[in-house]
A and B are shown apart, each in its own frame.
Chain A
Amino acid sequence: MMADTQIQKNAFNEPEERQTLVSPVRRHTIAVTVENEFGVLARVAGLFSGRGYNLESLSVAETLEPGVSRITLTTSGTDLVIEQITKQLNRLINVLKVVDLTDLVRIDRELVLIKVAAESASARDEVTRAVEVFRAKIIDAWPRGYVIEATGDAAKLKGLIDLLRPLGIKEVVRTGQVAIARGDAGGL
């Protein structure tokens, strides 16, 4: 025998579909300060893998305060997932503070090193022009190519890489994004 029922209206006159509303997946930039204890990075990374959250980039280095590091990570998810991520991060004992910078006015930066082939004169011209346009730097040169250094947000770096790709990019290395809120907002 199966029980059959229908949903009764509640006393609060709420639409029934209220709780099934799902927000879209968005990219988030989250800053996390942590005590620089043994294994702390493994705890943070393990939280993402263990709970099936997506982790797009992670960068970490010490802050001015000895023993405290700052992690910038980028991830994506619905509002509910991001809420869980920040709560779960906060739950880690070595995590001191978590700030979701996504909706703050902020500065995003990433550094990229690109090794690009450029043997012909025209190719070398093109590289130098691209470097100028993107305010990048040539930091190494030899007869068959260059190493270019550029900083910027994700969109700018993508633009530069797209421009250089037809010339033959041999290697790219990126630091992962770091971010800071403008003005007094989002202090850690």
Chain B
Amino acid sequence: MQPTVPPVTPSAPEVATRATNGSSASTARVIPPATGEKTGAEIFIDGLLREGVEMIWGYPGGAVIHIYDALYGSPIKHILVRHEQGAVHMADGYARSTGKVGVCLVTSGPGATNTVTGLANAYMDSIPVVVFTGQVPRHLIGNDAFQEADIVGITRPCTKHNFLVSRFEDLPRIMEEAFFLARTGRPGPVLVDIPKDLQAMKGPYKFPGGVKLRGYNPNLSGHVGQVKKAADLILQAQRPVLYTGGGVVLSGASAELTTLARSLSLPVTNTLMGLGAYPGNDPQFLGMLGMHGTYAANMAMDQADLLIAVGARFDDRVTGNVARFSLGSKKIHIDIDPTSISKNVRVDVPIVGDVADVLQKLNAELGRRGVTAAQHAQSIAPWLEQLATWQRTQPISYSQPDSNDVKPQYVIEQIWEATKERDAIISTEVGQHQMWTAQFYKFLRPRRWLTSGGLGTMGFGFPAAIGAALGNPDALSLCVAGDASFVMNMQELSTAVQYGVPVKVAIINNGFMGMVRQWQELFHGERYSEVNVQIQPDFVKLAEACGAKGGRARTAAEVPLLIKQMLETPGPFIGDFVVNKGENVYPMVPTGKGLADMILV
């Protein structure tokens, strides 16, 4: 942790809205009837309204033209994107930041294939998104018809489930199932492919008004016997660590996690996906762990005698070399998805269930044991002292520049300073800037940190920030972008301008694909192969060309001024922060190494 972190006054973390899409929708909402006689396109609109959908992201085309016709004048707000990948990332950013299901509508063929990266991205991070694709009329399926693509086949491995609607009467049921699957259990993206002829066809329909799927019964309730075993281990351990991930955010279990950590003075580290689930400025917080985690967090994992893994999946970026991963520890693993358990690392006490449910039970069980936080802190005192020493001697830090150069880490610190009093949603692209943001920004609440963790998708952050801004009109939505990543979906600037979305982009402009350059510097003998992206648009002019505003900072002194300007200017704004080219992200666990083999600064 930074020694400069202000003293903690942790407010209880907000319990994130559970993924109950629509429950928060205004009471004035009209719910369309469950039965009647309508066209497929009209039934589709009704299906969205019945799910409480207020906003969708999409792009029209021949195979969804009937649906776009039915959308015309409907109460659903449609955001016209500039590329279908942007639509899925926006829906994803909306879902991450609100807890609701994000919805997209695109045409067949290229429209559908353009959603694949967005789906894979949402799949890896377990984000509830439903993508509706038009399909060629049923009689043409399989004929290599114009704009035909087997999108159900293509997206099978990157969706939680997908459907081809093959009968008119199935449409209402499939719509209900799609939303149900997306938001329940371990959430994830679902795709529904709707042939054009079904959209035009008119007939009687019936929404079942409830989903029953024989083969889908996620186990939400944690096993009490296992919870007791976990409690035993926790109280016996001398060197425990809570290692928590995105599952805590998805389950809305921040309050329960905080209670657990505080009730026994347990140290906490978060994965990249888990940031914000535990207050980032809390003294018990060790920072992020893994490849670019803090020294204290990684050493804690390495030296612990008990890992309490909560909604985390022992990803390779977290464990480093698994053969050397936390060899001296027992492991408790709480996760809703049985496939996550004992996948990479053998676990001693698995507990399958919704994280919030399991933590409530665990907190109750520990409460009955009657050990106070102070008593427990006493009994694990040598460990807590050790952790404090690691934090003090090896905080996340960077060297101050000798010139007027702008250090990228400094920009992030300044963004934190300027936004810490606000309800800020911070998204990132992928690369060094992403890691610096994870390290230097303090996330205090869940659903305020949007980053592509599993897939590592450059081009995610900016559209995700637009989606988050649309879903949280009272919050500040700011994307920290790399200069290379930003151009991958910069066309969405026009979308932001069209809808007056006050999204802010801070480009950490190092003129390189910095993260790849770092690897080439450290592991490939400084042979900088194709990582130079110095021919880029002038981002300030680009902003202006799209009808947005922009500004540039070249010196450290200009940085806070540009941030201020960015935050005070209404509407979309691009801040181009020209930073040191050669800066690297540290600490770093090289691939194949154990967590304790970190390269420090």
- B-binding residues in A (CB < 8 A): 1-5, 7-12, 14, 16, 18-20, 34-35, 38-39, 42-43, 46, 50, 80, 83-84, 87-88, 90-96
Contacts and interface: CB of A to CB of B under 8 A. Distances in A.
B66 to A, nearest CB: 23
A10 B330 contact: yes
6 contacts: A7-B303, A7-B327, A10-B238, A11-B237, A11-B238, A83-B342
Given A19-B327, A39-B153, A91-B337, A3 B598 contact: yes
Contacts of B329: 10
A42 B295 contact: no
A5 B330 contact: no
Contacts of B215: 34-35, 92-96
B346 A5 contact: no
Contacts of A43: 156
Interface band, chain B: 35 or more
B597 interface: yes
Contacts of B429: none
A2 B338 CA distance: 36
B156 A16 contact: no
Contacts of A34: 215
Interface string B281-317: 0000000000000010001001101100000000000
Contact of A96 (B214, B237, B299, B599): B214
Given A19-B345, A84-B343, A93-B161, A14 B239 contact: no
Q: By CB atoms of chain A within 10 A, which of B152, B153, B327 has the most?
A: B327
A5 B303 contact: yes
Contacts of B343: 84
Which 3 pairs, one residue from A and one from B, show the smallest C-beta to C-beta distance?
A10-B305, A5-B596, A87-B339
A96 B237 CA distance: 40
B328 interface: yes
B476 interface: no
Q: By CB atoms of chain B within 10 A, which of A1, A8, A50 has the most?
A: A8
B157 interface: yes
Contacts of B600: 1-3
Contacts of B239: 8, 10-11
Given A3-B598, A91-B337, A50 B305 contact: no
A87 B157 CA distance: 16
Given A1-B599, A11-B236, A90-B338, 7 more contacts: A7-B327, A10-B237, A11-B237, A12-B305, A14-B330, A84-B339, A91-B338
Contacts of B330: 10, 12, 14
B323 A3 contact: no
Nearest to A79: B342
B216 interface: yes
A62 B492 CA distance: 49
Given A1-B600, A3-B299, A5-B302, A38 B164 contact: yes
Contacts of A80: 342, 346
